[in-house]
Amino acid sequence: MDTTSLDSDTEGFSSFGSDIEGLSSFGSDIEGLSSFDSDIEGLSSFDSDIEGLSSFDSDIEGLSSFDSDIEGLSSFDSDIEGLSYETDSGESNSSELSHPWGSSELAPSYEAAADYALKLLNSQGTIFEDTFRLSKGIFYRLLQWLQANNEGFIDTPYRSCAQRLMVFLYIMASGETQRNTAHRFRMSQPSVCRIFHKVLSFMVELHVAFVKMPGETYVSDKISTQDRFSDFIGCIGAIDGTHIAAHVPEHLQRRFRSRKGGISHNVLAAVTFSGRFIYVLGGAEGSIGDATLIRIASTMDFQIPKGRFLLGDAGFGNTRRGLVCPYANTRYHLQEYRELDVRPETPEELYNLRHSSARVIVEQAFGRLKRRWAILRTGPPEYSILDQTRIIYAATALQNFDLMDGLEPEDYIEKEEDAFSDYEKLEREQLLALADLWIGDKIGKDLRDEIANAVWANYVEYWRNQADSENGESDTESSDSDA
């Protein structure tokens, strides 16, 4: 997946929102944002131009009763423009104003914002991580990566890159509105808006670099080290769809309404058994089913390496190469066996049970993603559908970056392999060769049947050995008693 394909892929969904108006002009339609700093008139004549404040300088002591004495300022925080903002020169007219959201706080200014950012950077590690969902170490690695890979991400005399990244992460982690974020970080709301969208564009680059399908030489540790999954040779992870909260215009809500009644995006994602995202397709309407979603993805850039496969649910079907699903109309979840207190009785039941135990990793990955980045649960109205899609890509990229300690996928996999013993490396090479030979270009249905038969044969042999062992112990005890 390259950078240019992310936007084009999103816009390319003919059924996703071809009639969505306003995406291309999102920034230009928000009155006043694009010309916030340059078009505000009246700074030089602040005292004389604001009606009703002609005696502002001489009667500054009256600020304590500002809200009650000046008619029409009941919505001071949102309706008065120009009272507290930053100018191009970095100066602020707000240093002497009472802060409308708390008298103990400073009004927005570059100095106040910088001081608050420094305070956060110097806070305890647990406080920092709870606020931004990343440890300080990972935060600084992310900061370095963004600066090294984006020429436009540089410190300025008025805003540091660390400040901007903290603003972005705070919105992602808390799902907070831009206005409340501005209050917290001592900035104006338009400044927060510009910062968020700029950093969001850089996060698309992060996604391209850190969310990648592994190559043909990749073998999962879970498959190679756990006996109960040994017959799933060549499986690299699981794939599923999940619904992410969306905010769309009223005329599009029917298309984005999921079968559960919520307004959402249906996001297709694949993860490894370590929880690392290896494919994400965002932006689909919530009404689209998983089968349609996988078909659309297959026409784009979704390609499973030859000799490897992913585990999917029954909705994906079993007619594709590299996608193996469970048997329909057969007990599947472990809970069903626990409630009935029974064991699998057929190859199909045992296969489904193993499949369910392995595929749960994708549901766990979705759960961690949504708990960590609250913006995915709120569907904030401040962002266009295109930006909401980019937010999904940003969240999965950040999840991977943290999981891999800032190492890009190739380096991360190499580090994992270096930790193996010589015996483990030899075993992995054998599994790799076996997977290449056994899987080939088989479609899911054929591969599923072969796995089911192999799993059942091993299962029967295991219980036969258990019975023989118990009989042997019984015979020994009987002989001892006779003696």
Q: Point out which residues pair with 92 in neighbouring strands.
A: 86
Q: Point out which residues pair with 309 in neighbouring strands.
A: 235
Task: Tell me: pLDDT of 36 over 70.
Answer: no
Q: In the structure encoding, which two tokens stand for residue 162, read together?
A: 């660390």
Q: Would you say residue 469 lies in a domain?
A: no
List C-alpha distances in Å: 290 to 316, 320, 328, 383.
6, 14, 16, 25
Structure-model confidence comparison of residues 354 and 470, the more confident one = 354
Are 155 and 298 part of one and the same domain?
Answer: no
Banded model confidence at residue 472, pLDDT cuts 50, 70, 90:
low
Burial of 451 from C-beta contacts in 10 A (0-12 / 13-18 / 19+): buried
Last residue of a domain, one of 181, 209, 237: 209
Banded model confidence at residue 422, pLDDT cuts 50, 70, 90:
confident
**DSSP class of 327:** P
Banded model confidence at residue 257, pLDDT cuts 50, 70, 90:
very high
Are 438 and 325 part of one and the same domain?
Answer: yes
Last residue of a domain, one of 153, 176, 209: 209
Q: Would you say residue 23 lies in a domain?
A: no
Structure-model confidence comparison of residues 45 and 428, the more confident one = 428
Are 294 and 392 part of one and the same domain?
Answer: yes
CB within 8 A of 468, min separation 6: which ones?
Answer: none
Average model confidence (pLDDT) across the chain: 79
Are 234 and 366 part of one and the same domain?
Answer: yes
Are 414 and 446 part of one and the same domain?
Answer: yes
Distance CA 210, CA 188 (A): 32
Write down the pLDDT at residue 107.
55
Q: Would you say residue 366 lies in a domain?
A: yes
Are 198 and 289 part of one and the same domain?
Answer: no
Are 202 and 128 part of one and the same domain?
Answer: yes
Task: Tell me: pLDDT of 42 over 70.
Answer: no
In tens, the pLDDT along 385-395 reads 999 999 999 99
Are 288 and 333 part of one and the same domain?
Answer: yes
Residue type, 283: G
Distance CA 99, CA 58 (A): 20
In tens, the pLDDT along 147-159 reads 999 998 999 988 9
Q: Would you say residue 332 lies in a domain?
A: yes
Last residue of a domain, one of 209, 236, 256: 209
Contact yes or no for 199/192 (Cβ under 8 A): no
Are 205 and 230 part of one and the same domain?
Answer: no
Residue among 201, 455, 221, 436 nearest 327 (CA) = 455
Are 248 and 319 part of one and the same domain?
Answer: yes
Banded model confidence at residue 309, pLDDT cuts 50, 70, 90:
very high
Q: Would you say residue 50 lies in a domain?
A: no
Q: Are strands 323-324 and 309-311 parallel, antiparallel or unpaired?
A: parallel
Write down the pLDDT at residue 29.
41
Banded model confidence at residue 88, pLDDT cuts 50, 70, 90:
very low
Task: Tell me: pLDDT of 226 over 70.
Answer: yes
Are 310 and 452 part of one and the same domain?
Answer: yes
Q: Would you say residue 33 lies in a domain?
A: no
Q: Which domain holds residue 379?
A: 221-464
Q: Would you say residue 35 lies in a domain?
A: no
Banded model confidence at residue 434, pLDDT cuts 50, 70, 90:
confident
Banded model confidence at residue 482, pLDDT cuts 50, 70, 90:
low
Are 146 and 256 part of one and the same domain?
Answer: no
Write down the pLDDT at residue 229.
83
Q: Would you say residue 111 lies in a domain?
A: yes
What is the tally of structural domains in the chain?
2
